[in-house]
Structure 1
Amino acid sequence: MEHASFVDAARIALDLASSTEVKAGWLEESSCAGMSVGGLAHHLVQQAGNTVRLLEMEPVAEPPIPLLEHYARAAWVEAGPDDEVNVTIREGADAAAGTGPDDVIAHGTAALERLPDLLRDHHRRIPDQVRIPWQGWSLSTSDFLVTRAMEIVVHADDLASSVGVETPDFPDDVVADVLALLSAVAVRRHGQVALVRALSRPQRAPGDVSAF
């Protein structure tokens, strides 16, 4: 995806998190059971924040793993909603949102202001990759941006549905990369036939082809 499109996606997410409806429902439960609207808003805008934070860190000279290997290794991908890894994510986001919407949005705005310059200069990173400290491995910078874009697109829909507003549209190239990623993860979990049928022959499709 174009870096400008990624920045646009992050801005769209921030605008949604800044909406009157999200602020009004900040303490209510979101569409992600067990997570408040505020916690979900924080998790959404933090995708830009995490991108800035990791791009500002020195890259580690280790071979980056492939994008799909990242999702094969990550513990949360196949964990249940009440498994520790997902509970920790929800509780951490809710705790961070406890400072209130104005603080969360201010941090998101600051990250968004830094993002274009960091992406423009990414080619100066040697090697041009990002280490994900909470996972313990590196991805190429382009693959890392796809992971953040997926989080933005998916959780924007979660947040919009939580407060009864329309899910925003994102740049076409961002959505194309996200759908390609979700499809590839779904194929790994459910097989090619299941996904082909879900997209073309719903009468023969299995009940679940979710990527996560």
Structure 2
Amino acid sequence: MSLTGAYLDTAAQAVTLLGAPEVAASWEKTSALTDMTVGALAGHIAYQVFSVTPALHGPTSHEVPIQLLEHYSRAAWVNAPLDGEANAGIRTKGEDIASEGAAVLLERARAALVEQRAALPTVRGGWTVFMPQTGWTLSLDDFLVTRMMELAVHMDDLAVSVGIAAPELSATAFDPVLTLLARLSARRHGQAALLRALARAERAPSAINAV
């Protein structure tokens, strides 16, 4: 399976999760994330899918794409406090996207996925994506990895929030997500901390969070 196919499969899992009756039933309740309702978290998940559509329809960027790890070095939300501007903006955007309710959000997400299933396989190699919210460019493959990482992490958040099992990613999707998170963790805590957490429980650090 290609990276494009892996993203589409992950997005389909996210859309299925958004349609779970437990999500609609808990829409106004507090989620597993601080200061975020289940509806706002669902909106944030849907945004990861919605954000791919304009990347396919706009012209490819003429800017030189930065590397994936550099993207996370520059991102304003990484290491930002929960009550800081960046994270408050993320929560507000999720609330705005979810404001019309669970049924409308689900239909919008389904429609976006149908469009992307048709459009993504036609995108030629070397396509790059300018991210207006950040001001820099990623390769399409790296951009899709960022979407898959967000979907993987937040699908677990949403499933935990409503008391259902989180979806299992395909190996083709999980491998780049795991690689990204492991590299971010090693950069943040050092290689030894990550190796000990994975292989030496007796001296594992208390945290190896990636972001």
- Tell me the TM-score range normalised by the shorter chain: over 0.9
Q: Gaps (5+ residues) in structure 2?
A: none
Task: Give TM-score scaled by structure 1 length.
Answer: 0.96
- CA–CA distance in structure 2, aligned partners of residues 148 and 175 of structure 1: 12
Residue 80 (structure 1) aligned with residue 58 (structure 2) = no
1:138 maps to 137
1:194 maps to 193
Task: Give TM-score scaled by structure 2 length.
Answer: 0.96
Q: Which runs of 4+ in 1 moved over 4 A?
A: none
SS for the counterpart of 2:209 is coil
1:12 maps to 13
C-alpha distance after superposition, 1:5-51 (max 9, x if no partner): 21111011011011100000001111111111011111112211111
Taking the TM superposition and a 5 Å limit, the aligned residue runs for 1:22-171 are 22-123=23-124, 128-171=127-170
Deviation at 1:202, TM superposition (A): 2.0
The amino acid across from 1:135 in the alignment is T
- CA–CA distance in structure 2, aligned partners of residues 96 and 116 of structure 1: 22
- CA–CA distance in structure 1, aligned partners of residues 3 and 54 of structure 2: 20
Between stretches 179-188 and 89-98, larger displacement belongs to 89-98
- CA–CA distance in structure 2, aligned partners of residues 145 and 107 of structure 1: 19
1:207 maps to 206
Deviation at 1:69, TM superposition (A): 0.2
Is the Cα contact below 8 Å between 1:130 and 1:141 reproduced in 2?
yes
- CA–CA distance in structure 2, aligned partners of residues 186 and 25 of structure 1: 32
1:182 maps to 181
The amino acid across from 2:95 in the alignment is D
Is the Cα contact below 8 Å between 2:44 and 2:93 reproduced in 1?
no
- CA–CA distance in structure 1, aligned partners of residues 123 and 132 of structure 2: 18
SS for the counterpart of 2:61 is coil
- CA–CA distance in structure 1, aligned partners of residues 158 and 146 of structure 2: 18
CA-based RMSD:
1.1
Deviation at 1:80, TM superposition (A): 1.7
- CA–CA distance in structure 1, aligned partners of residues 55 and 3 of structure 2: 19
State the identity as a percent: 40
Between stretches 61-70 and 41-50, larger displacement belongs to 41-50
Is the Cα contact below 8 Å between 2:15 and 2:106 reproduced in 1?
yes
Is the Cα contact below 8 Å between 1:48 and 1:115 reproduced in 2?
no
Is the Cα contact below 8 Å between 2:43 and 2:96 reproduced in 1?
no
Deviation at 1:118, TM superposition (A): 2.0
Deviation at 1:2, TM superposition (A): 3.1
The amino acid across from 2:99 in the alignment is G
- CA–CA distance in structure 1, aligned partners of residues 31 and 57 of structure 2: 31
